[in-house]
């Protein structure tokens, strides 16, 4: 047995799943096996795990609820860390909301609305967990995480736990400092404002109804595939280029929303990547615009 695995077991970190198919843990339902999927029991165990991995120079990849991620068909070498029960919580403190990295971002929006707090209405249809939302500066309907972010406790790849304030995060469109500085969100604090429960609920329901009407939410996808280019929308460009319904293998551009690629049942990561490249080449040739994927591609080529 490898020394780092023995140490993880002795530290009683949580579940250790070997050669675990990532297709079981991503919303695209695509992805080869991870050498080891680690599901820590709680915050302290997660920090301990990262310190052990750092000590043995073992690479790791974080996985939230598996949205906005494409795992390649050969899987992921090293360790995948999936925060779960121990980081699936929320606490309210006046107009501050403290949420664990594993807490559902949609559920957080619903809970804050029920507590008469405004600011997270935009998140009512964004899949994934709080940690991933902070990492990606997730947003919709003209707002994003940066607007209501106060601070986050983050464990760096060395195992050091630090607190990043808003100004430390270097937020921009679908970007945070965590794209350059490897770390994993443990808990995020959001600063909201008091609002009318009825108005908040009405706004969230309107966003939800629009998403249900315009997005293939019942099918396997990662959400939006491409970032919106400045002053335009990726979906508009893809649809205007006649790419709705375009297909490669089991991957298909949604007929309902052209910035979604759906897994029709047997799609591989290579199918998706080929379709992404085809879309990019078409839009570049036709409009001179380089579409940039917002989906994170991980794993062995």
Catalytic positions are: 174, 224, 294
Beta carbons of 72 and 34 less than 8 angstroms apart:
no
Percent helix, strand and coil across the chain, each to the nearest 5: 35, 30, 40
Contacts of 54 (CB under 8 A, 6+ apart): 157, 158, 159
Tell how far CA 96 is from the center of its chain. Answer: 23
Closest Cα to residue 120, out of 103, 94, 138, 135?
Answer: 138
Q: Which residue(s) pair with 21 in the sheet?
A: 33
Written as six digits, the tokens of 172 are 């921009």
Dig out the tokens for 92 from the structure.
Answer: 């309210």
CB 76 within 8 A of CB 26: no
Comparing CA positions, the residue from 282, 300, 270 lying closest to residue 28 is 270
Q: Can you tell me the distance from the alpha carbon of 78 to that of 53, in angstroms, rounded to the nearest whole number?
A: 10
Show the tokens assigned to 297. 């591609």
Nearest to 251 by CA among 222, 272, 230: 272
Query: Which residue in 143, 136, 271, 265 sits closest to 204, CA to CA?
Result: 143
**Greatest extent of the chain over all pairs of C-alpha atoms, in Å:** 58
Are 102 and 64 a contacting pair, CB within 8 Å?
A: yes
């Amino acid at each position: 047995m490898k020394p780092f695995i023995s140490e993880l077991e002795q530290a009683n970190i949580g579940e250790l799943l070997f050669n675990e198919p990532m297709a079981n843990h991503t919303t695209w339902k695509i992805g080869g096996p991870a050498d080891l999927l680690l599901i820590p029991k709680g915050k302290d165990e997660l920090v301990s795990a990262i310190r052990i991995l750092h000590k043995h120079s073992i690479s790791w990849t974080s996985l939230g609820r598996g949205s906005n991620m494409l795992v390649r068909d050969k899987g992921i070498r090293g360790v995948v860390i999936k925060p779960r029960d121990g980081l699936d919580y929320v606490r309210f403190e006046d107009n501050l909301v403290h949420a664990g990295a594993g807490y559902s971002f949609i559920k957080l929006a619903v809970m804050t609305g029920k507590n008469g707090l405004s600011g997270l209405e935009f998140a009512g249809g964004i899949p994934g967990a709080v940690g991933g939302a902070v990492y990606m500066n997730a947003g919709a309907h003209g707002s994003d995480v940066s607007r209501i972010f106060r601070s986050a406790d983050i464990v760096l790849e060395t195992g050091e736990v630090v607190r990043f304030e808003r100004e430390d995060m270097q937020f921009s469109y679908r970007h945070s400092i965590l794209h350059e500085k490897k770390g994993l969100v443990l808990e995020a604090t959001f600063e909201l404002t008091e609002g009318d429960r009825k108005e908040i609920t009405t706004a969230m329901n309107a966003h939800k109804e629009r998403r249900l009407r315009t997005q293939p939410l019942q099918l396997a996808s990662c959400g939006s595939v491409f970032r919106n280019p400045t002053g335009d929308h990726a979906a508009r460009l893809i649809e205007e280029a006649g790419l709705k319904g375009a297909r490669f293998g089991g991957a298909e551009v949604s007929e309902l929303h052209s910035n979604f690629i759906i897994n029709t049942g047997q799609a591989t990561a290579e199918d998706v990547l080929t379709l992404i490249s085809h879309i990019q080449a078409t839009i570049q040739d036709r409009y001179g615009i380089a579409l940039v994927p917002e989906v994170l591609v991980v794993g062995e080529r």
